[in-house]
Amino acid sequence: MRILDLGCGPGRDLACWGVTSSDQVVGLDIDLGSLAIAKVRYPNQAYLQGVGECIPFQDESFDRVISAVALPYMNVQKALGEIHRILAPGGTLSLSLHLPGFTVGELLHKALPKPVATIFRLYVMANGVLFHCTGKTVGFLRHRTESFQTERGMRIAFTSAGFVNFSFERALGPTGEAFTVEARKRK
């Protein structure tokens, strides 16, 4: 199976996502420093710099896209449109996302009382509320984007991008509540 790890960061073992050694995995991330680390950690895997909002691959080049807590840092509607484009018909998308509680925690425990960090976290909260209502996000200064996701917002965003068969799962993990989502491109 051809798999894209979107927003791969410094690389991670994807076995928990059901990826096996017979799969061909390509990691894509905006950050060159993270990619350099990933190449050392997983030398047999291919890595490329690029952004989720303009994925540098042809239409229908992958059977599956996995993205672990990277979509919250992208323009969600643009990235989902790109993921849909590069997936083959019937291809699947697996995501882990940020719930509102993550952003509230960042605001209370990391941002306050620092003014710049607090303003940014308030933007992230407002962007999450916007996403919940419309399925769309907006950028902050210097093209920085962040939001939290909700099931309602993801349903709207998936429908707009053309995905079907959505499923949502919440589970308590070591770093708080994990929110994972699956969807499929129509055959």
Residues that bind ligand SAM (CB under 6 A): 7-9, 12, 29-31, 34, 51-53, 68-70, 73-74
Tokens of 159: 């429908």
- Nearer to ligand SAM by Cβ, of 74 and 83: the residue is 74
- Nearer to ligand SAM by Cβ, of 47 and 163: the residue is 47
Return the bridge partners of 117, or none: none
Q: Find the shortest distance in angstroms from Cβ 31 to ligand SAM.
A: 4
Q: Find the shortest distance in angstroms from Cβ 89 to ligand SAM.
A: 24
Q: Find the shortest distance in angstroms from Cβ 171 to ligand SAM.
A: 16
What is the rounded distance in angstroms from the CA atom of residue 115 to the CA atom of residue 119?
A: 6
Q: Find the shortest distance in angstroms from Cβ 68 to ligand SAM.
A: 3
Instruction: Give the nearest residue (CB) to ligand SAM.
Output: 9
Return the bridge partners of 49, or none: 29
Q: What are phi and psi of 28, to 5 degrees?
A: -130, 130
SS3 18: coil
Q: What are phi and psi of 95, to 5 degrees?
A: -130, 150
User: Are 185 and 162 contacting, i.e. CB atoms less than 8 angstroms apart?
Assistant: yes
- Nearer to ligand SAM by Cβ, of 7 and 153: the residue is 7
Tokens of 167: 């499923």
- Nearer to ligand SAM by Cβ, of 68 and 86: the residue is 68
- Nearer to ligand SAM by Cβ, of 34 and 149: the residue is 34
Q: Find the shortest distance in angstroms from Cβ 187 to ligand SAM.
A: 27
What is the rounded distance in angstroms from the CA atom of residue 123 to the CA atom of residue 171?
A: 26
